[in-house]
């Protein structure tokens, strides 16, 4: 089993039970068959609430480093409370993407900070689609809307979504080519194409 570090060790601003989150991480690692010899660090920025959802999954020196806003795990129904379903899916997507970087054909992918929205949403879709047969509580309409928002509201984007959602293996090179084909098919004016470089992630205050 991987050596897992969750930060913060105890949550103080939200009512997340750190032991429960750790258990969900362990469960997810097992379900997605994450490499057992890889250390995992997961940072949760508990200041940022739902709906400020954002995450990153990188591999540095052979270890997986994941970062989430607290909003990713928060229940939209109970302010500051944990949503087990949301947490499972967010962890599943993040850890699968980290696994892709380690052994899944994404070894040459740029760090998350360097991805544009289109590349990122394609990769997230590929990961979330693979959670379906594992029994994770994923919601296809939610993912499809996010996909269209960044991939385009057109048939080419919808076909790409179906391909990724079925989980047919793809590498970073294939995925980035797909992102380029979506860009070419996107008839929205440039100003309407979202390719942001902003991030919610900040260095902790000294």
Partner 1 sequence: MRKQLPPEMLARDSRFVRTSIMDQVMDPRNAKMGERELGSARLQPERPAAADRARNLMHGIFTGEIQALEGAGRTTFDFDDDEAPFALKLDMARQCWDESRHVEISVKLGDWMGTEIGEYSEATFLYEAACAPDPILRLCGVNRALEGLAIDVFNTMREFGDLSGDPVLEFCEDWMLADEVTHVKMGSDWLRRLTADDPERRERALDFQRTVDKLFSLGGFRGESEENPIQLARTFRSMAGFSTDEIDELAEIAAQAQEDARAMVAGGS
Q: Which residues bind partner 1 (CB under 8 A)?
A: 12-14, 46-54, 69-71, 76-80, 117, 139-146, 148-150, 152-153, 186, 188, 191-192, 194-196, 198-200, 202, 205
Closer of 3 and 79 to partner 1 (Cβ)? 79
6: enclosing H helix or E strand: strand 4-7
Q: Strand 55-60 to strand 40-45: parallel, antiparallel, or no bridges (unpaired)?
A: unpaired
The nearest distance, CB 31 to partner 1, in angstroms, is 23
By C-beta, is 34 or 147 nearer to partner 1?
147
Rounded-to-integer distance, Cα 147 and Cα 117, Å: 9
* CB-nearer residue toward partner 1: 62 or 81: 81
Instruction: Find residue 7's DSSP bridge partners.
Output: 43
Find out whether the peptide bond into 8 is cis, omega within 30 degrees of 0. Answer: yes
Which one, 2 or 55, has the nearer CB to partner 1? 55
* Residue whose tokens read 């990769």: 123
How many residues can be counted in the chain? 206
Q: Which residue has the tokens 């070419």?
A: 184
CB of 54 to partner 1, least distance (A): 5
Residues in Cβ contact with 142 at an 8 Å cutoff, skipping those fewer than 6 apart: none
Distance of alpha carbon 15 from alpha carbon 109, whole angstroms:
35
Smallest distance from partner 1 to CB 95, Å: 20
Closest separation between CB of residue 23 and partner 1, Å? 24
Nearer residue to partner 1 within complex by CB, 69 or 119: 69
CB of 7 to partner 1, least distance (A): 16
């Amino acid at each position: 089993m991987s050596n897992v570090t969750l930060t913060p060790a105890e949550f103080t601003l939200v009512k997340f039970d750190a032991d429960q989150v750790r258990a969900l991480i362990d469960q997810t690692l097992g379900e997605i068959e994450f490499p057992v010899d890889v250390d995992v660090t997961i940072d949760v920025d508990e200041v940022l609430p739902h709906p400020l959802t954002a995450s990153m999954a990188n591999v540095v020196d052979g270890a997986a480093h994941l970062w989430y806003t607290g909003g990713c795990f928060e229940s939209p129904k109970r302010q500051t409370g944990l949503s087990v379903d949301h947490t499972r899916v967010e962890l599943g997507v993040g850890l699968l993407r980290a696994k892709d970087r380690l052994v899944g054909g994404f070894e040459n992918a740029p760090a998350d900070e360097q991805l544009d929205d289109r590349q990122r949403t394609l990769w997230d879709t590929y990961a979330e689609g693979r959670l379906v047969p594992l029994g994770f509580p994923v919601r296809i309409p939610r993912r499809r809307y996010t996909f269209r928002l960044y991939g385009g509201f057109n048939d080419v984007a919808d076909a790409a979504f179906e391909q990724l959602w079925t989980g047919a293996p793809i590498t970073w090179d294939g995925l980035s080519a797909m992102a380029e084909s979506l860009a070419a098919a996107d008839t929205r004016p440039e100003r309407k194409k979202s390719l942001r470089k902003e991030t919610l992630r900040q260095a902790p205050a000294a």
